[in-house]
Structure 1
Amino acid sequence: MAGHSKFKNIMHRKGAQDRKRAAAFSKLSREITVAAKAGIPDPAMNARLRAAVLAARAGGMPKDNIERSISKAAGSEGETYEEIRYEGFGPGGVSLIIETLTDNRNRTATNVRTIVAKNGGNLGASGSVSHAFDRLGRIVYPAKAGTADAVFEAALDAGAEDCQSSEDGHEIWTALDELHNVVKALEAVLGEGDGGKLAWRAQTPVTVGEGDAGTLFKLIDALEDDDDVQVVWDNSDVPEDVLAKL
């Protein structure tokens, strides 16, 4: 466990974007409904649903809205959403994995392709970049959850594979089939985190220079502003001196 983390890069880029997305209740609601349909509609028994509910709470979604979104999964109310993953490349040769939930795959494909093309990137075939990422569970805690040593020890005892800390927070990685157990074990020691999510972690980060970083961040922000895009994963590593200029 340990090693270089690009957590600071992610936090820097996503700060303002997360605040915008937190207000997008429709996107949060969509994830709750899909998560509830994919398993037991009980956050205590469904790790993905629990993570979605925690994200909705953090985004300020009222309790009634959350419960209504879960209820939709039990009946025929509302649309049926399809999970579609797009892969491609952004400025500086950065690899992108774009995860979407959509009720209209043609609309989503057109929007994603247009956004990527307008911002210096291009889409590839399925599998064109995902082979360079590992599919893992990711759990995030704020910096106030504990010192780096304390969180490291808690993660190790919980069975996590990796723990990386910075002044922005703690990022814990675990095997997919251990995510739920690790989340529960960590909550007993550190309290409630973000609930744990399935994530893509790059095997080899790509260093992005000043000339490409701004365009890359613009591309990712534009994708995450699209209603159908849930999250964008990438393998960029932007040096702190470049971040300071953005």
Structure 2
Amino acid sequence: MAGHSKFKNIMHRKGAQDKKRSAMFSKLSREITVAAKMGTPDVDMNPRLRLAVNNAKAQSMPKDNIQRAIDKASANEGDDYEEIRYEGYGPGGVALIVEALTDNRNRTATNVRTAFSKNGGNLGASGSVSHGFERLGLIVYPASAGDEEKILEAALEAGAEDIQSGEEEHEIWTAADDLHEVAATLEKALGEAETVKLAWKPNLTVDVGERDAEVLFKLVDALDDDDDVQTVWGNYEVSDEIMEKLG
């Protein structure tokens, strides 16, 4: 899919979220606090916290905000959140996985179900679509980090499993258990990555036409707008032409 990142297409339309920086920072802060509470507030000793902090930095989240989120966990302040995964189908038979952190399971379930039902989707049971995805580690570098040959060589030396290069980005995929080690090795060779996270990679993708894509993006945006929703993954691909039409 030349012309733009498959990761940004399959994950969700990131632009809509980037326009709402305060909401994005709130979600990043929540993940940092949860990661610090579940382990230790030391990023060197807590891989999940290190991931959360690195992703926050990649989104230009101020250092004070990051430290405040860690301090909240150290002081045992703030709400206790649980991780929940929702699965369902969107327009055109697209499979979606919704990851959430919530302090009120009933509220989040109602909001997610409403978003699906109002935007041409159906919320399914746990496991209804995740069998069509792999849980992998994902590391994303901008195209400016180097050409495909340079990135491929560095990725192979670091122990990565696959690399997909486009005009905008290089996506490096690893086994989930190897993510932290591969990311650390790549950082020495290529510098800090734009994204380091656990991801849901579809085994097969669905090509979505313009009409279904328009409704699908409304569904994804509705889910993204919910404070409890952290990430939305899908198995869809939309052509460059349609993406340009829909903005």
Q: TM-score, normalised by structure 1?
A: 0.92
* Range with greater deviation from structure 2 (28-37 or 5-14): 5-14
Cα 1:19–1:165, aligned 2, differ >3 Å: closer, same or farther? Answer: farther
Mapped to 2, the partners of 1:172 and 1:47 lie a distance apart of 18
For residue 223 of structure 2, what is the aligned residue in structure 1? Answer: 223
Judge conservation of contact 2:92–2:212 (CA < 8 Å) in 1.
Answer: yes
Cα 1:55–1:229, aligned 2, differ >3 Å: closer, same or farther? Answer: same
Mapped to 1, the partners of 2:8 and 2:237 lie a distance apart of 9
Judge conservation of contact 1:22–1:56 (CA < 8 Å) in 2.
Answer: no
Q: Find the residue that maps to 2:74 and give its secondary structure.
A: coil
Mapped to 1, the partners of 2:87 and 2:57 lie a distance apart of 30
1:13 paired to 2:21: no
Mapped to 1, the partners of 2:125 and 2:21 lie a distance apart of 28
Cα 1:185–1:225, aligned 2, differ >3 Å: closer, same or farther? Answer: same
Q: CA deviation at 1:19?
A: 3.6
Higher relative contact order (CA 8 A, sep 6+): 2
For residue 166 of structure 2, what is the aligned residue in structure 1? Answer: 166
For residue 30 of structure 2, what is the aligned residue in structure 1? Answer: 30
Q: Find the residue that maps to 1:32 and give its secondary structure.
A: helix
* Range with greater deviation from structure 2 (73-82 or 149-158): 73-82
> Match for 2:137: what amino acid?
G
Q: Find the residue that maps to 2:61 and give its secondary structure.
A: coil
Equivalent residues in 2 for 1:1-246, closer than 5 Å: 6-7=6-7, 9-10=9-10, 13-21=13-21, 24-194=24-194, 196-246=196-246
RMSD (Å), alpha carbons: 1.8
Please list the CA deviations of residues 160-191 of structure 1 after superposition, one character each: whole Å capped at 9, or x if unmatched.
01111111111111001111110011001000
> Match for 1:29: what amino acid?
S
Q: CA deviation at 1:8?
A: 5.8
* Range with greater deviation from structure 2 (217-226 or 65-74): 65-74
* Range with greater deviation from structure 2 (232-241 or 80-89): 232-241
Judge conservation of contact 1:162–1:172 (CA < 8 Å) in 2.
Answer: yes
Q: Find the residue that maps to 1:73 and give its secondary structure.
A: helix
Cα 1:186–1:29, aligned 2, differ >3 Å: closer, same or farther? Answer: same
Q: CA deviation at 1:56?
A: 2.1
Mapped to 2, the partners of 1:12 and 1:157 lie a distance apart of 30
> Match for 2:183: what amino acid?
V
Q: CA deviation at 1:12?
A: 8.3
Q: CA deviation at 1:22?
A: 6.2
Please list the CA deviations of residues 4-38 of structure 1 after superposition, one character each: whole Å capped at 9, or x if unmatched.
x7236358822232342565322111010111122
Please list the CA deviations of residues 106-150 of structure 1 after superposition, one character each: whole Å capped at 9, or x if unmatched.
110011100111000010000000000000111111111111111
Mapped to 1, the partners of 2:76 and 2:11 lie a distance apart of 38
> Match for 1:70: what amino acid?
I
Q: Find the residue that maps to 1:245 and give its secondary structure.
A: helix
Gaps of 5+ in 1: none
Q: Find the residue that maps to 1:204 and give its secondary structure.
A: coil
Cα 1:38–1:194, aligned 2, differ >3 Å: closer, same or farther? Answer: farther
Q: TM-score, normalised by structure 2?
A: 0.92
